[in-house]
Amino acid sequence: MGSRLPDFISSDLPEPIRRALYESALQEADSEDPGLLERIYLRKLVELRNLLPQAEAAVVQRVREQPSENTWKVIGELIGTNASAAWQRYGVATTTPDSRKAQSAASQHRVAPSNLPGVTVAEAARQLSMYPDRIRRAIRRSTGEKWFRVYPTQGKRGSTIRVLDLDALARILASDSLE
């Protein structure tokens, strides 16, 4: 095990991984021909590369099953991205058509109170000719402004956001685009 690895073994990988791939190639080869070993090593490297996404997804799933501090934000930080991208990569893949139907049915039972003041985020976006996500980002960055209000929904969970002052929202978004 302490022997020197052949020159064709790339030093780009950590030594234990290089050694394990090389040892596996040696076991499979019927000779110590460097050309043959290099081709088998390459195939082993490709096999490893193809297994990594499945292994990563399995680890993410196990981590998510642990206590609540393992949020999608935490997972995103661990894999070098954000919460949304982490969920898109691993959360969506773990949902089944049946679980999506159940989520959809549950969301249909959430009812926003009727006759709330202001307009919905979607309606505000239509009136201001912009995407709703831009308004949601302004809401997340908000520091106590009174141009919107969050109302709880009746039912399982969730809330409804109503934009109370479109002019104030337009000013905030205009000042954001100047920065």
Question: Percentage of residues in the chain with pLDDT exceeding 70?
Answer: 80
Domain boundary pick from 94, 129, 148: 94
What per-residue confidence (pLDDT) applies to 69? 77
Encode pLDDT of 99-153 as tens digits.
666 666 655 555 666 678 889 888 999 998 888 898 888 888 887 778 888 887 7
β-sheet bridge partners, residue 120: 162
Full residue range of the structural domain in which residue 143 is found: 119-178
The domain total for the chain is 2
What per-residue confidence (pLDDT) applies to 90? 82
Q: Are residues 90 and 127 in the same domain?
A: no
How far, in Å, are 17, 100, 152, 153 from residue 105 at the CA level? 47, 9, 18, 15
Confirm whether 141 is domain-assigned.
Answer: yes
Confirm whether 127 is domain-assigned.
Answer: yes
> pTM for the complete prediction?
0.44
Length of the chain: 179
Encode pLDDT of 21-36 as tens digits.
888 888 888 877 888 8
Confirm whether 100 is domain-assigned.
Answer: no
Confirm whether 8 is domain-assigned.
Answer: no
DSSP E strand boundaries for 44-158: 119-120, 148-152
Encode pLDDT of 63-80 as tens digits.
888 766 778 888 888 888
Statement: residue 48 has pLDDT above 80: yes
Residues 152-160, mean pLDDT to the nearest whole number:
69
Residue 133 CA to residue 61 CA, distance in Å, equals: 28
Confirm whether 36 is domain-assigned.
Answer: yes
